[in-house]
Amino acid sequence: MFDALQSGGALFFGELVSRTDKSVLPSQVEEALSQLAALGLVTSDSFDGLRALLVPSNKRPTFGRTTAKRRRRTNLASIEFAGRWSLLPRSVGASNGAGPREAAVEKFARVLLRRYGVVFRRLLERESFPVTWYELGRVYRRSEARGEIRGGYFVGGVSGEQFALPEAIGLLRSIRKSSSNEDLNTLSAADPLNLQGILTPGTRIPAFTSNRILFRHGLPLAALESREIRKLSDDQIPDLQIENALRIGKLRPSLRPYYK
């Protein structure tokens, strides 16, 4: 796949399929594009390409069976109409002598820091990027030596090395000093902050947009999974309040009749 894009330039998905071996299925081409995009090696003409890769494979339109009526809602996430795919320039890695793999790992390490503020080994269980903690640790130790980030023990109950952005440490300290908040907070299970079963107790909640998790004081109370509500805590909260928070949340009243 990488060689096809390198020799052919920008190509539509259909052209990529035709340039591969006949034994390679379109679904395998999609998977290869997904891995190349995660490595920061390829990009698409539009966001439709990335949106199509985020749709579960069992819900994507079958390649070759979609009609020309792209405006229909069922085809919005079709990778067949997602525009052209092309390689990203590798000037970042070439400028400091690092290869594509090293440059991608360093970029991913910085993305994790911006996403979580504090990074440690257990967080990799939430990520699908094929990188080891050993590789990330080398990047973080170099950044710590340059004074860009801090190393230490910031999150209780987690063993091993931890690295944090300086501004994240200040936010953690302010949270400890603030008074407890009784608000209920709902989080989509597809959000990267869904760390249920990794940092919080209990089983994991699959990362689907239809699933939701309800939190209070940073701890999970209940989850909406496969349209069913499951309690995760023994806190005495009315069932109706939990259901409203998970199914409706903070939607405007005018939009609530359209939400299922």
DSSP string computed for 12-43: EHHHHHHHS-TTS-HHHHHHHHHHHHHTT-EE
Quote the pLDDT of residue 156. 81
Q: Within 13 Å and on the Cβ side, how many CA atoms surround 36?
A: 21
Quote the pLDDT of residue 60. 59
Mean pLDDT of 29-47: 80
Tell me: pLDDT of 29 over 80: yes
Phi and psi (nearest 5°) for 104?
Answer: -70, -40
Plot region of 160 (φ>0 → left; ψ -120 to 50 → alpha; else → beta): left
Contact 82, 48 (CB under 8 A): yes
Residue ranges of domains in the chain: 2-88, 92-177, 185-258
Quote the pLDDT of residue 58. 62
User: In the beta sheet, which residues pair with residue 200?
Assistant: 196
Judged on CB neighbours under 10 Å (0-12, 13-18, 19+), 205 is buried
Quote the pLDDT of residue 181. 63
Give the CATH number of domain 92-177. 1.10.10
Measured N-to-C along each axis, helices 100-116 and 133-145 cross at an angle, to the nearest 10 degrees, of 80
Tell me: pLDDT of 196 over 60: yes
